[in-house]
Amino acid sequence: MRGYVTAYDVKTGEQAWRAYATGPDEQILLADDFNIHNPHYGQKGLGTGTWEGDAWKIGGGTNWGWYAYDPGTNLFYYGSGNPAPWNETMRPGDNKWTMTIWGRDIDTGEAKFGYQKTPHDEWDYAGVNVMMLSEQKDKDGNVRKLLTHPDRNGIVYTLDRENGDLISADKLDDTVNWVKEVQLDTGLPVRDPEFATRMDHKGRDICPSAMGYHNQGHDSYDPERQLFFMGINHICMDWEPFMLPYRAGQFFVGATLWMYPGPKGDRQAYEGLGQVKAYNAITGDYKWEVMERFSAWGGTMATAGGLVFYGTLDGFIKARDADTGELLWKHKMPSGAIGHPMTYEHNGIQYVAIYYGVGGWPGVGLVFDLTDPTAGLGAVGAFKELANYTQMGGGIMVYSLDGKSPYTEDVNVGEWKPNNG
């Protein structure tokens, strides 16, 4: 109902500090020089001033996503989520500091900067996605410590993680339509009212859907190639408000959401719900991009060997060429993946591991056996074909890069031998 992040002492369990997303500055823990480098982001008094009355007390902004920490800046970075309640007419104002990229001192919790990506969210674009740290030369050739964040709202943001400067803000796909552009000088999105979610307006083909073009996936960066590899949802939605009267002065205000493939997908077959892209945050260019049958929900892993691994909802783990996107290898797993791959070395052999097990928001229909297309806020309709490609299950798969299992060399490894005969 009111998001916060809390630090505890790992030895004693004692609470070190707590910082809210909304409310009085002292509860949000703003540093004295908060946003000093970017005063146009907003500074003091806005955690209450951008809300009507006491609505900030139940204003949401929960941070349920990823955190990143840089020992060099001593800051950690995360996103606060969407404001509450969902019906935007009930909370006029920017609703700060929901939907915000935070840079906080890890010892005191004090915020050095905060950049609100989606002021007054209307779409449920909870801004909690992965924060990826890199050091790159900007357009002027200066090496900067960067923070790159592909947001639910369909924009991938790159900030200077020392001071919060906005370096770039590009669409994850040219089909993003709620926003025409994000102005780098003001930091503000320029909205297209046609794709707003107002109570007097049926919104059609709003991209992204409430799921976002990027959700909880954990993506990767290749410093040699200066490329981020991102798994993307290609899903749009219709949003229909309704008001149902009832007796004795009662009426129910609600909205119905339908979700379906974006314009580049197959809207008859309900496939083409995902993309994987290689992105340069300095130039804003996409070096390559491929479509997927379903969302690339779990995110990617880049290796120094020039490969990009990711899992798919229909149960494949795939490897592509980091330079070209060419598909080099895949393996079908017992169930779809919503997690990201990882890699490690053991006794001189490199391994790639991934959790599989279809679930999460895209799996809600398959897992709970739902058929109403508007169930799961429309996810059941969007992913109605998923049950034809995979099934429930859960486990971990580990692949060795030399192609050998523990039993390849000696089939008797691990066999039980009776010792009493």
Partner 1 sequence: MIKSTTLKRLLAGAAVAAAVVVAGPALAKDKLRICASTKEAPYSAADGSGFENRIAARLAVAMDREPEFVYTDKFAIYIVGEFLDAKKCDVVMGADVGDERMLTTAPIYRTGYVYVSREDKNFTGASWNSIADTDYGRFAIRFYTPAEVMLKYAGKWEDNAAYLYGLINFKSRRNQYNQVAADQLVSEVANGGADLAIAFAPDVARYVKSSPVPLRMTMIEDEIVRSDGKTIPLQYDQAIGVRKDDRALLDEISAALPKIRGDIDAILTEEGIPLLPPSS
Query: Which positions lie near partner 1, rule CB under 8 A?
Result: 1, 53-55, 57-58, 86, 244-257, 374-375, 377-378
Q: How near is the Cβ of 111 to partner 1 at its closest, in Å?
A: 23
Whole-number Å distance between alpha carbons of 58 and 146: 33
Q: How near is the Cβ of 367 to partner 1 at its closest, in Å?
A: 18
Give the nearer residue to partner 1 in terms of CB position, either 143 or 244: 244
b or e along 329-350 (b: 16 or more beta carbons within 10 Å of the residue's beta carbon)? eeeebebbbbbbbebeeeeeee
**Residue 321 is among the residues annotated as catalytic for this protein:** no
Give the nearer residue to partner 1 in terms of CB position, either 250 or 347: 250
Give the nearer residue to partner 1 in terms of CB position, either 36 or 90: 90
Whole-number Å distance between alpha carbons of 93 and 72: 36
Q: How near is the Cβ of 77 to partner 1 at its closest, in Å?
A: 28
Query: Quick check: bond before 85 cis, omega within 30?
Result: yes
Q: How near is the Cβ of 235 to partner 1 at its closest, in Å?
A: 16
Give the nearer residue to partner 1 in terms of CB position, either 54 or 107: 54
Q: How near is the Cβ of 32 to partner 1 at its closest, in Å?
A: 29
Q: Are 368 and 360 in contact (CB under 8 A)?
A: no
Tell me which of 94, 121, 124, 173 is the catalytic residue. Answer: 124
Q: Are strands 327-332 and 316-321 parallel, antiparallel or unpaired?
A: antiparallel
| Dihedrals phi, psi of 181, to nearest 5 degrees | -165, 165
Whole-number Å distance between alpha carbons of 215 and 295: 10
* Number of neighbouring beta carbons within 10 Å of residue 140: 6
Q: How near is the Cβ of 371 to partner 1 at its closest, in Å?
A: 13
Give the nearer residue to partner 1 in terms of CB position, either 247 or 417: 247
What pairs with residue 80 in β-bridges?
Answer: none
Query: Quick check: bond before 102 cis, omega within 30?
Result: no
Give the nearer residue to partner 1 in terms of CB position, either 63 or 158: 63
The alpha carbon dihedral of 27, 122, 206, 293 has a sign of: positive
If phi > 0 it is left, if psi is from -120 to 50 it is alpha, else beta; for residue 152 that is: alpha
Q: How near is the Cβ of 144 to partner 1 at its closest, in Å?
A: 40
Whole-number Å distance between alpha carbons of 38 and 31: 14
Give the nearer residue to partner 1 in terms of CB position, either 10 or 244: 244
Query: Would you list the DSSP string of 188-219?
Result: -EEE-GGG---TT--EEEESS-TT-SS-S---
CA angle, residues 196, 92, 20, in degrees to nearest 5: 110
Q: Which residues are catalytic?
A: 124
